[in-house]
Structure 1
Amino acid sequence: MSSVRSAPGSTSALRVANQQRVLDVLRGAVADVPADGTPSTAYTQAELARTTGLAPATVSNIVRELTGAGLAETTPGAGRRGSAVRLSAAAGTVAGIDFGHSHVAVAVGDLVGRVRRERRVPLEDPADHRGALALAAALLEELLEGEGPARHVALGLPAPVTDDVIRSAAIFPGWEGIDARAAAAQVLDAPVHVENDANLGALAEHRVGVARGHRSSVFVKISSGVGAGIVIDDQLLHGAGGSAGEIGHLTLDDQGPLCRCGSRGCLEAYTSVGTVLSMMAGQLPGASFDDVVAAARADNVSAQRALEDAGLHLGWGLASIVNLLNPAVVVVGGDMARAGSLILDSARIGLRRHALDAVALTPVVASELGERASLVGAVLLAAERTVLSVD
């Protein structure tokens, strides 16, 4: 899966598409990497040609490019096309950075997308993009100690991203109009790729998480805001301007509560973590979201009702996207996913109430990667872009 954008029908677009087909097969061979970092299986070039449908000569050229750059390795077989090919886990280091409204998480990984080390710290002022990037750079420097620079870095941001720029101050204040890729490249000293955090979560769950094996899925991240990453036929759906998946701003009631986007009755105004905390402020003043979840599990009926209401509204919003896209599975991630069945059960009820019969039983499941989903996706994207940058 790639978000590399070349002119449709161009030679470079065809080359990238062919390379991606080979990489997708090789990544399938290395999804379960043992502790020593050595992939457990490999493909012969003949098998790659059969699996991808590409001409043997095309596969040979791609393999030659990858091995020449040290990104893949081969072991002898019966003839050149009988040699076994695998991506090299030791071909270098990549990094992922995930910014939230209250945290920054940084990880380094290898060329097969496996996270080696990671750190997550609070952000005192997430609106200060310079300070936030400086903190991320310092964390990355610590994680890379003794390894050399990262070959590529992927950056996740909790807002729609168009040409590396966030256009809405309401959704992620302090970053509006900033060329995030250029700003990050200045302090990180590496090629940087910028993506919406929900898209990165969708990438991670699709590749190595609970949505693995499904060609189409939706990942919904619910924390301070609500956003979705959409995978259709193994491809991330970005939309014309990069804002596909902003389901948090579906209008459920145009007379409903005011949303931070300026509209009324948005899904986010009913389902976000902040909404749940506001509902419980009178009974549990100063409580964290985890406190509310603990209270609900201890039979606090108000906490149970707050989470149930959030789940029912989530299901209502999911019905719209399931009716439209018919994904194989919906994955719920972000902070809200920590409530587990307390929100998922009511989300399934809400979905069944508002979805067409043909899709009303679409599975709604918790993220397998939890709060790490976007960070894992960032490492996977950085690894992919490193390999796709081979000339």
Structure 2
Amino acid sequence: MIALLLEVNGITMYRTGVQHTQAATGSQTSLREANRARVVGAVQQHGSLTQVELAGITGLSPASVSNIVTELADAGILDTSPSIRSGRRARLVTLARSIGVVAGIDVGARSMSVALADTSMRILATETLPLAPDHRADMSLQRAAMLVHELVESVDASADELLAVGVGVPVPVDVSSGMVSSTSLLLGWDGAAVADVLATVLRAPAAVDNHANLGALAEARYGAGVGRDPVVYVSVSHTMSAGIVVDGKLLHGRRGAAGELGHMIVDERGAVCRCGNRGCLETVAGSAALLRMLSVSHGHLTLDDVIARGLDGDPGCQRAIADTGRSLGAAIATVCNLIDPDIVVIGGDLVASGELLLAPLREAVQHNTLASSSGYADVVAAEFGREAELRGTLAAALDRARALGVLGVIS
């Protein structure tokens, strides 16, 4: 069993990756440490919880939970605040920020979002800014670092409280080096040493991955994919890609290019894609293709315009979203035939259109997937919606901090 040793204000805590920790027989000290670890682990996994909820999750008595929470709050490990649950007064418990904060940076094709969170994954501050279509790695990473510094200051934290940073980018990444491994998908980012650049500027360890992989991580660990395996997450925005989680681990492939759904060839005589191939899924179902469908009838629209008009009942926008869903669903069916996932989670900007996208997508998946006596994979919207990738960057930052012993040492 892997345990993490956390020492805060003189109190030593042992955390494990499982919900319940067995103490050594006959050792009251070990039992107390194990019970503390249960409480801290539950808050870290689920975020803010009342003491009643903590008792239910940990299996400890309400009195024991109350005593432990009081002790750890006095030590600066937990924070408590009054709250109301089901019409009754309650004591809300969160991890104290004195343990530190993590930052997440999600770089998209047209925008960048940055978030700051405590070690229980409670988001403290966020910021989003637009990016030029041809944004380059050096300028974008400088702006990201500036935003992280601003967010740290905005919550009255200091730079040395930043434990780690997680970064998602819309291209394949060699996670072992933190470098972009693609050579044609995002102009100005080929071979960018994202992890090294941010670690140097922010003076904190950095973890970098494809943003769809991080969306998959967030949804499998905290969202719609909890308790499901395998999990396939598909990000549908200005670009599209997939993240695959099997046995709780992300599938990266040889050079980080696993899950590049947008560059699956669907029409070998189709339009030339930005990657240099012909007939990729992005040329048929990407945002540019969707907007082209509507250019003659609707003029210039943004992706958000199409979603809003479709939800308002515009038949042309609804048709364009549905056609995109069908094309995407047929491609996802191929992934289902290869991976046989338990659930397919759809995220990214276009998921905001709801069933306008999901209904035809789901129908196409079922129509093109090999029939099974256990039925088809569930196809659902991401629980975190457009924020799935950003949540994943925070999860990656926490994982990086743990792996390097910033949150404690492996014992």
TM interval, shorter chain, is: 0.7 to 0.9
**Are 1:387 and 2:402 matched, yes or no?**
yes
The superposition leaves residues 323-343 of structure 1 with CA deviations (integer Å, 9 ceiling, x where unpaired) of 111111101111111111111
2:273 aligned counterpart, secondary structure: coil
Q: d(CA) in 1 for partners of 2:290 and 2:149?
A: 37
The partner residue of 2:323 within 309, 316, 339 is 309
User: Which amino acid is 1:364 matched to?
Assistant: V
- Give TM-score scaled by structure 2 length: 0.76
2:348–2:386 contact (8 Å) kept in structure 1: yes
What is the Cα deviation at residue 296 of structure 1?
Answer: 2.9
Number of the residue aligned with 1:99: 107
Residue 280 (structure 2) pairs with residue 271 (structure 1)? no
How do residues 46-65 of structure 1 correspond to structure 2 at under 5 angstroms?
Answer: none
Distance 2:109 2:375 in 1: 33
Query: Aligned pair count?
Result: 343
Q: Which residue identity does 1:251 align to in structure 2?
A: I
Partner of 2:64: none
- Letter of the structure 2 residue corresponding to residue 253 of structure 1: D
Which residue identity is paired with 1:186? Answer: T
Secondary structure of the structure 2 residue equivalent to 1:281: helix
Counterpart amino acid of 1:148?
S
Q: Which residue of 1 aligns with 2:252?
A: 238
Q: Which residue in 1 is equivalent to 2:223?
A: 209
Which secondary structure state, in structure 1, belongs to the residue aligned with residue 297 of structure 2?
coil
- In structure 1, stretches of 5+ residues that fail to align are 1-13, 46-66, 74-85
CA contact (8 A) 1:87 1:111 kept: no
User: In angstroms, what is the RMSD of aligned CA positions?
Assistant: 3.1
1:304 Cα deviation from its structure 2 partner: 2.2
In our comparison, the structure showing a higher alpha carbon Rg is: 2
Which one of the candidate residues 167, 172, 175 is aligned to 1:160? 172
Determine whether 1:175 maps to 2:189. yes
What is the one-letter code of the residue matched to 1:265? G
**23-32 or 91-100: bigger deviation:** 23-32
Q: Deviations over 1:242-262 (max 9, x none)?
A: 111111111112112222111
- Of 325, 332, 351 in structure 1, the residue corresponding to residue 365 of structure 2 is 351
Q: Per-residue CA shift, 1:183-224, capped at 9, x if unaligned?
A: 222222211111110011011111221112213211100111
Q: Distance in 2 between matches of 1:37 and 1:181?
A: 39
Structure 1 residue 151 corresponds to structure 2 residue 159:
no
1:195 corresponding residue in structure 2: 209
Structure 2 CA distance for partners of 1:108 and 1:337, relative to 1, 3 Å = same
Question: Counterparts of 2:286 and 2:213 in 1: how far apart (Å)?
Answer: 18
Residue in structure 2 matched with residue 7 of structure 1 by the alignment: none
Letter of the 1:152 counterpart: A
Quote the Cα distance in structure 1 between the aligned partners of 2:254 and 2:95. Answer: 35
Q: Secondary structure of the equivalent of 1:40?
A: helix
1:256-306 Cα shifts (integer Å, max 9, x gaps): 222211112211111112211111111122211222223334443332221
Instruction: Say if 1:32 and 1:39, in contact at 8 Å, map to a contact too.
Output: no
Structure 1 distance, partners of 2:379, 2:139, is 37
Is the contact made by 2:152 and 2:158 (CA closer than 8 Å) also made in structure 1?
yes
Aligned to 1:291: 305
Aligned equivalent of 1:23: 17
TM-score by length of 1: 0.79
Bigger strand fraction = 2
Partner of residue 136, structure 2? 128
Aligned-pair identity in percent equals: 34
Q: Which residue of 2 aligns with 1:57?
A: none
Q: Please say if 1:261 is aligned against 2:259.
A: no
